[in-house]
Amino acid sequence: MLRTRGWIEAWLLLVPGFVFLIAFTHVPALVTIWNSFFTTPRGRRPARWAGLENYETLLSDPTFWKVLKNNALYAAGTIPLSIGIALVMALWVNRQLAGRGLVRMAYFTPTVLPMIAVANIWMFFYTPGFGLIDQIGAALGLGQTNILGSADTALWGVMVVTIWKEAGFFMIFYLAALQTIPPSLVEAARIEGAGGWTIFRRITLPLLMPTTLFVSINAVVNSFRMVDHIFILTGGGPDNASSLLLFYIYEVAFRFWDTAYGATLTVVLLAFLMILAIGQFVLFDRRVHYR
Amino acid sequence: MLMTNLKAATAALAFAAAPAAADVDLQFYFPVAVGGAAAETIQSLTDQYVAEHEGVAIEAVYTGSYQDTVAKALTAARGGNAPQLSVILSTDLFTLLDEDLIQPFDTFATSAEDKDWLASFYPAFMENSQTGGKTYGIPFQRSTPVLYWNKEAFKAAGLDPETPPATWDEMVEMGKKLTVRDASGNVTQWGVRIPSSGFPYWLFQGLTTQNDVILANAEGNEVHFDDPKVVEALDYLVDLSKSHEVMAPGIIEWGATPKAFFEGQAAMMWTTTGNLTNVRDNAPFDFGVGMLPAHLRRGAPTGGGNFYLFKDASEEQARAAFDFVKWISEPEQSAKWTMATGYVAPRPETWETETMKAYAAEFPAVLVARDQLEHAVAELSTYENQRVTSIFNDALAAAITGQKSSQEALKDAQAQADAILKPYR
C-alpha cells in the first residue's frame, strides 16, 4: 500500500516535467518525422502521401550536400579551437594577476551579448572599405578585403565569430572546474618534483575531463544550432558558401514554405545529433574520471 | 498643426476609451525595408484615416522586413488568424495565390469610379499586380533602382558633374576615370557599386532589361535564365570587377551601399529610389540621380510592396480594407508617403498635386524614378517565387565570386528552376 502511494507520488512529481517534455520535444519530433513522408500542403493542393520521395530529393539535392560539408568544416574548425582557447583563458585567469576580475569579465563579455548584436559588431569589423579590418589594413598599406563576400572565405569569417562568442562561455565552466581541484594535489606533486607541464598533463587535465565532456557536447550541439549570426553576416551566401544545415532548414521551411522538405532535413539533423551525443558519451565515458 | 494634433489625440483617446465603438476591426501588416521615417508615416496615415472615418478601427502592425512580413502573414493565416490587409512584396503574388490566401480587388470595385481608380496606376507597377485578368495587388511602397552619382568625385576625375553615364560602355569608361588608387595600388574609391548581397537578381534585372530580355513570363511558370542575352548581361556585371576593375570584387553588401557612397568608397551606386530621402539627408556632397544606363534599350525592374486583400476577411472587413487602400492611394496621402520615403507615387494624379509639384521643383531627383517607369518591367516573379529567385541569386553569386562561368551558372539555375516550375505549367 505504502509502496503504491510512493509510486503515485513519484509519478505526480514527474508529471509537469513530462508534460512539457512530451508536448514540446517528443510530439513535435514525431510529427516532424511523420510530415517528412508527405508532400507540402499548399492552399490549393492538400498534402498527399509521398513515401520516401522527400528523402530521394534530399539525396540528389546539391545544396544539402554543400551545407552538410560546410557544417562538418564548421564543427571541425570551431569546436577544438573554442575549447582550446577556453582552457587557455581559464588557466590564465585562474592565477593571481593584476586586474583579474577585469580580464575575466572581458573574456566573458561575448557570451552575454546576444548573437545578433555580436554579428552586427563583426559586420562593422568585416565591412569592406570602411570596416575596422580594412581601416587597420589601409594604415598598414594593405588593400581592401571582402571576407564575407568571397566564396572561399565567407565560412571562415562566420567561424571566427562563433569561436569568439563560444570561448568565453566555455571558459566559465573550466574556471569553475579549476577551482574545485584541491591545491593539495598540486602541492604533493610539487614535492615529488613534478614540473608545471607534468602537473597540467597528469593532474589538471584528467580532473577537468568531466568538464571537457560537458563542454564538448555543448560545442557539438552548438555547431549545429547556432545560426543566428549567419542571418546578419552573409545570409548563407555567396552561393550557399556559408550556409549551415539549420540555416538551410529555416530557408526551406520558412522562406520557400516547403515544410515537408524542411521536415525531412530536420529528421537528418535529429539523427545526426543523436548519433553524436550517444557516440560522445560512449567514447568519453571511458576516459572521464568522475569523483 | 496644434489643432490637427489635438484632433488626432482626442480621436485616439476616444478610441482607446471605447474600442467597442468600432463596427469593423482591421489588422494590417506592413514591412519597412529602407531607412527614413517609413514606419512613423504609415502609423500616422492610419491614425488619420481612423480619426476621419467613424466605425473603423485599424491596427497597423510593423512586421519587420519583407521576408518577415510574408512569413508572419503565412504563419498567421495557417493558424486561422490572418490579417485582413498586408503590404507584401509584389513578387509574392503567385506564392499567395498558391496558398489560396488572397482575393482580387475587382470584387469590390463595382462602381465606375472604383474601376477608374483601379485603372489609374502606372502600368509598369500593375504588371506585378495582376494575373489572369484580375487585380490582386495595389501598388503602395513601390520603387525602382536608379543611379546615384557623386558630383564632386566626377569633378575631381575631370568629368562633367551633371552628366551620368548613359550607356554600359560609358559606365565602364567613366568608372575607370573614377576609380582612384593610392601610391601602393590599393583602391580608395571604386568607380561604381552594384550591390549583390541578399537579392542580387533585382539590380541584375536592370542589366537584363537593358539587354532586352525578360526573365519570366506573365503566368509565372516559365523563366529564361539561360538566354544568351542574360548570360551576356551577367558577363558584363562580372567584368566590371574582373576585367575592367571599376567595381569591388566579390559580393557587395546591399545594406552598406549608401554608407559606402557617403564615405566616398564608390563614386556611383545603383540602389532603390526608396533610399532617396536617406541619401538626401546624409550625403555630405552634392549628388545626382539618374536613370540606369542603357544598352540595347533603357530598362529597370520595378520593386517593392503592394497591398493585398486577404480572403479570410468578412465581407464588412474586406469592404473597409478596400476603402482604406483607396484612401491611402489618394494623391494627398500618397504625396506624404513619397516625400517621407522616396518611394515612387504609383498614380500620375499624385504628381499633379501642388504639394508634389512644389517638392519636385525643389528636389527634381524624385522625378527620375517616375520618368524611368515608362522603361520599367515587372520584377522577376514566379510560382514558388522565393525558391526560384533564390536559385537565380545563387547562380549570380557563383558567377560574381568566380566559382562558375556565367554560362555554366545560369544553365544550372535554369535546370533547377524548370524542375520546380514544371508542375505549374
Sign, CA torsion A8/A13/A19/A25: negative
Say whether pLDDT at B364 is over 80: yes
| Residue pLDDT, tens place only, B98-118 | 888 999 999 998 889 999 999
CA distances in angstroms from B192 to A145, B141, B204, B333, listed in the order given: 17, 26, 14, 35
pLDDT at position B3: 44
Nearest C-alpha neighbor of B15 from the set B51, B41, B46, B67: B51
CB contact under 8 A, A129 and B397: no
Any chain A CB within 8 A of the CB of B98? yes
Residue with cell 493565416: B77
CATH of the domain at A258: 1.10.3720.10
With contacts defined as CB-CB under 8 Å, which chain A residues touch B387? 255-256, 258
Whether residues B251 and A148 touch (CB distance < 8 A) is answered with yes
User: Distance between CA A145 and CA B185 in Å, rounded?
Assistant: 14
Buried-exposed string A86-119: b where 16+ CB fall within 10 A, e elsewhere = bbebbbebbeeeeeeeeebeebbebeeeebeebb
Q: Provide the grid cell at B336.
A: 506624404
Q: Is B92 on the interface with A (CB under 8 A)?
A: no
| ipTM here | 0.83
Alpha helices in chain A (DSSP H): 2-21, 27-35, 53-59, 62-94, 100-112, 115-126, 132-139, 154-180, 183-192, 196-199, 205-225, 228-233, 245-254, 259-285
Residues of chain A positioned with their CB less than 8 A from the CB of B384 = 256
Q: Name the DSSP letter for residue B167.
A: B
* Mutation target vs B (from A232, A239, A247; most B CBs, 10 A cutoff): A239
Nearest to A238 among B251, B265, B390 (CB): B251
Write out the three cell numbers for B364: 527634381
Closest Cα partner for B90 from B358, B303, B276?
Answer: B303
CB B273 within 8 A of CB B344: yes
Give dist(CA B345, CA B141) in Å, integer. Answer: 8
Maximum alpha-carbon separation in chain B: 72
CB A150 to CB B250 under 8 A?
A: yes
- Give the pLDDT confidence score for residue B8 in this predicted structure: 47
| Min Cα separation B148/chain A (Å) | 19
Distance in Å, alpha carbon of A262 to nearest chain B alpha carbon:
13
Q: Does the beta-carbon distance from B398 to A238 stay under 8 Å?
A: yes
| A246 part of contact set with chain B, CB < 8 Å | no
The CA R_g of chain B, rounded to the nearest whole Å, is 22
Let me know if residue A50 belongs to a domain: no
How close is the nearest chain A Cα to the Cα of B64, in Å?
14
How many residues does the structure list for chain A? 291
Q: Determine, yes or no, domain membership for A26.
A: no
Inside any domain, residue A13: no
The nearest alpha carbon in chain A to B403 belongs to A151
Sequence-distant contacts of A58-64: CB under 8 A, at least 24 apart? A58/A261, A58/A264, A58/A265, A58/A268, A63/A240, A63/A243, A63/A248, A63/B394, A64/A248, A64/A265
Whether the pLDDT of residue B6 is over 50: the answer is: no
Name chain B contacts of A255, Cβ cutoff 8 Å: 67, 71, 386-387, 390
Contacts of A262 in chain B (CB under 8 A): none
Report pLDDT for B120: 92
Q: Which residues of A touch B79 (CB under 8 A)?
A: none
CA distance B99 to A42: 5
Q: Show residues of chain B in contact with A258, CB under 8 Å.
A: 387
Q: How many domains in chain A?
A: 1
Tell me which chain A residues have a C-beta less than 8 angstroms from the C-beta of B393: 237
Is the separation of the CB atoms in B154 and B300 below 8 Å?
Answer: no
Give the helix ranges, DSSP H, for B27-138: 38-52, 66-78, 93-98, 112-118, 123-126
Phi/psi for B76 (5° steps) reads -60, -40
Query: What residues are paired with B189 via a beta bridge?
Result: B180
* Residue A150 lies inside a defined structural domain of this protein: yes
Does the beta carbon of B221 lie under 8 angstroms from any beta carbon of chain A? no
pLDDT at B16: 44
Nearest residue, CB atoms, A257 vs list B74, B184, B259: B74
Asked if B366 and B274 count as a contact pair (C-beta separation under 8 A), the reply is no
Confidence (pLDDT) at A2: 62
Residue B74 sits at the chain A interface (C-beta within 8 Å): yes
Overall pTM surpassing 0.80 (yes/no): yes
Q: Which domains does chain B have, with CATH numbers?
A: 2-142+303-374 (3.40.190.10), 145-301+384-424 (3.40.190.10)
Q: Of chain A residues 4-33, which have a CB less than 8 A from chain B?
A: none
Q: Nearest-CA distance from B196 to chain A in Å?
A: 9
Residues of chain A in contact with residue B253, where contact means CB-CB under 8 angstroms, are 127-128, 148-149
pLDDT at A291: 47
CB spacing of B98 vs A43 below 8 angstroms: yes
A204 vs B: CB within 8 A: no
Q: Is the peptide bond before A238 cis (omega within 30 degrees of 0)?
A: yes
User: Which pLDDT value is given to residue B15?
Assistant: 44
- pLDDT tens by residue, B153-211: 999 999 999 999 999 999 999 999 999 998 888 888 999 999 998 889 999 999 999 99
What does the pLDDT read at residue B99?
87
Which positions in chain B touch A63 (Cβ < 8 Å)?
Answer: 394
A140 within some domain: yes
pLDDT in tens, B404-421: 999 999 999 999 999 999
CA distance B259 to chain A (A): 9
Over residues B247-295, the pLDDT tens digits come to 999 999 888 899 999 999 999 999 998 888 889 889 999 999 999 999 9
Q: Which domain holds residue A174?
A: 55-288
Q: What is the pLDDT of residues B14-70, one digit of tens each?
A: 444 444 456 888 999 998 876 567 888 899 999 999 999 888 999 999 988 888 899
CA B303 → CA A86, B140, B335, distances in Å?
48, 10, 19
pLDDT by 10s per residue, chain A, length 291: 567 788 899 899 999 999 999 999 899 999 999 999 998 888 777 888 888 889 998 999 999 999 999 999 999 999 999 999 999 999 988 888 888 888 888 888 888 899 999 999 999 999 888 889 988 988 888 888 889 989 899 999 999 999 999 999 999 999 999 998 888 988 899 898 888 888 888 888 988 988 998 898 889 888 998 899 999 898 887 889 999 999 999 999 988 888 899 999 999 999 988 888 788 778 766 666 554
Residue B267, SS3 per DSSP = strand
Interface residue A136 vs chain B (CB under 8 A): no
Chain B hits for A61, Cβ within 8 Å: none
Domain presence at residue A4: no
All residues of chain A having their beta carbon less than 8 Å from the beta carbon of residue B402 are 151
Which residues does chain A have within 8 Å of residue B401's beta carbon, measured at their own beta carbons?
Answer: 149-151, 238-239, 241
Report if residue A43 sits inside a domain.
Answer: no
* Cβ within 8 Å, pair B251-A130: no
Mean pLDDT computed over every residue of chain B: 89
Cell reading at B71 = 512569413
Contact A149 B402 (CB under 8 A): no
Using the predicted structure, report yes or no on whether residue B361 has a pLDDT greater than 70.
Answer: yes
For an interface test with A, the pick among B98, B253, B411 (most A C-beta atoms closer than 10 Å) comes out as B253
CA distance B87 to B109: 19
Inter-chain CB proximity A143 and B187 less than 8 Å: yes
Write out chain B residues lying below 8 Å of A43, CB-based: 98-101
Predicted local distance difference test score (pLDDT) of residue B397: 94
- Considering the domain boundaries, does residue A270 fall inside one? yes
DSSP B19: G
> What pLDDT shows up at residue B320?
92
Q: What is the pLDDT of residue B11?
A: 45
Distances (CA, A) of B392 to A213, A257, B146, B202, B228: 43, 17, 22, 10, 15
Q: Scanning every residue of chain B, which has its alpha carbon at the shortest distance from the alpha carbon of A129?
A: B265
Is residue A283 less than 8 Å (CB to CB) from chain B? no
